[in-house]
Amino acid sequence: MARDYYGLLGVAKNASADEIKRAYRKLARELHPDVNPDAAAQQRFKEVTAVYEVLSDPAKRQIVDLGGDPLSPGGGGGGGMSDPFGGAGVGLGDIMDAFFGGGGQRSRGPRSRVRQGDDALIPVELTLEECATGVAKDLAVDTATLCSVCHGSGCAEGTHPETCDTCKGAGEIQQVQRSLLGQVITSRPCPVCRGFGEVIPEPCRQCNGDGRVRTRRTVRANIPAGVGDGIRVRLSGQGEVGPGGGAPGDLYVEVRELQHDKFTRDGIDLHCTVHLPMTAAALGTSMALQTLHAVEDLDIQPGTQSGTVITLRNQGMPRLRGTGSGHLHVHLEVVTPTHVEGRQADLLRELATLRGEEQPELATRGHGGLFSRIRDSFAGR
């Protein structure tokens, strides 16, 4: 019969740690050999001390509360509570079975040689035009493929896997240890079969028993319109074949967008710069602009200033998901001639005179006009 741990100290089962400590100290003062030399008292002192050490340890006290006996020879089993199913008694392992579905670590059984394959990643360079319209690309990829000789089994022709003699097909080696908590069973993968439960007596020479080989093959990737730099397109089932001929993973095609010589991209919008002659900006004009999709007429209003932005709607990139497109923003930059002479210079001077625009060099000679007025304003005139 299991010890009555609480009764030996004279406390209730729901006693606090302080109550247990006070009860033990009281008994220790009465039963200590220095106070009570009686042999029976000395034996009882040893017993209540051992009981106190159990009840003051939360883990051991929990075993007691579950009906176990941490001080029994079995470390929690022998002399335990009566077996409700007809046995003489149950130990800690049986208690764990009853409350937690099994004592120690349960066997997981052999693991399969067939496992899911990994995903693969391959980059592809696309021009801005290809990103805008979508494109089909034939890509050369190096991935693990199913072995054509053993078809994933890993065995040489005419042979088959055999049950491991070390673990008898369990895939694990179990070790039993006895401790204060009772019988503890630990498991580890079998070192001979590596947890598979079977061994390959003669591996396939082509794949060396792996069930797969590395092969270069061609895969067609249909890349949708609207992709951009860093976007990945998934090709389901085109990745690495798994060990043992397992199902392949996916292949991801990562877009690397090449820089365009005319357009720059901002999400689904595009930007470009058009250099406009001074005379065209002043007089206005119409010019043809090649966009990604078609040739568009660009109307330049008279008196257009440098830095003006004209937006062509729906002439940008298509949306990757959804409908519609971005816009094309045309930045106008008015170009001033860097060198004029002869007739061109005479015409510009004549134009300046007609417009009443004084030349800067005339301002230093005291001539009236814009620059003179600016100078006079600073002089306080």
Instruction: Residue 229: give the domain boundaries.
Output: 113-147+209-258
Domain identity same for 252 and 271: no
Query: Does 164 show up as a binding residue in the annotation?
Result: yes
CATH number at 125 reads 2.60.260.20
Q: Is 231 within the bounds of a domain?
A: yes
Query: Is residue 11 located within the same domain as residue 75?
Result: yes
Rounded Cα gap, residues 209 and 345, in angstroms: 86
Q: How many domains does the chain have?
A: 4
- pLDDT-derived band at 182, boundaries 50, 70, 90: low
Is 267:324 a contact under the CB 8 Å cutoff? no
- Any idea which residue has 């764990």 for tokens? 96
Q: Indicate the pLDDT class of residue 333, thresholds 50, 70 and 90.
A: very high
Find the Cα–Cα–Cα–Cα dihedral 44, 48, 54, 56, rounded to 10°.
-170
Mean pLDDT lowest among 173-187, 209-223, 224-238, 275-289? 173-187
Annotated binding residue 272: no
62 and 120 fall within a common domain: no
Residue 190 is assigned to a ligand binding site? yes
- DSSP classification of residue 245: G
Residue-level pLDDT at 188: 86
The verdict on whether residue 204 carries a ligand-binding annotation is yes
Query: If you average pLDDT over residues 162-176, what whole number do you get?
Result: 88
SS3 190: coil
The answer on whether 167 is annotated among ligand-binding residues is: yes
CB 133, CB 225: distance < 8 Å: yes
Q: Is 131 annotated as a binding residue?
A: no
The answer to the question of residue 204 being in a domain is no
Q: 188 lies in a domain?
A: no
Last residue of a domain, one of 228, 258, 288: 258
Q: Is 207 annotated as a binding residue?
A: yes
Among candidates 156, 161, 159, 150, which has minimal Cα distance to 192?
Answer: 161
* Global confidence as pTM: 0.60
- Together in a domain, 141 and 73: no
Extended beta strands in 82-169, E state: 120-126, 135-146, 162-163
Pairing of strands 309-312, 328-335: antiparallel
Is the pLDDT assigned to residue 374 strictly greater than 80?
no
What are the tens digits of pLDDT across the range 7-34? 888 888 888 988 888 888 888 878 876 6
Closest CA to 194 of 105, 110, 107: 110
Average pLDDT over residues 281-295: 92
In a 3-state reduction of DSSP, which class is residue 212? strand
Contact status, residue 83 vs residue 90, Cβ threshold 8 Å = yes
- The residues near 42 (Cβ < 8 Å, ≥ 6 apart) are 31, 33, 36
Contact of 6 with 15, CB cutoff 8 Å: yes
pLDDT > 90 in the chain, percent? 46
> Quick check: is 177 in a domain?
no
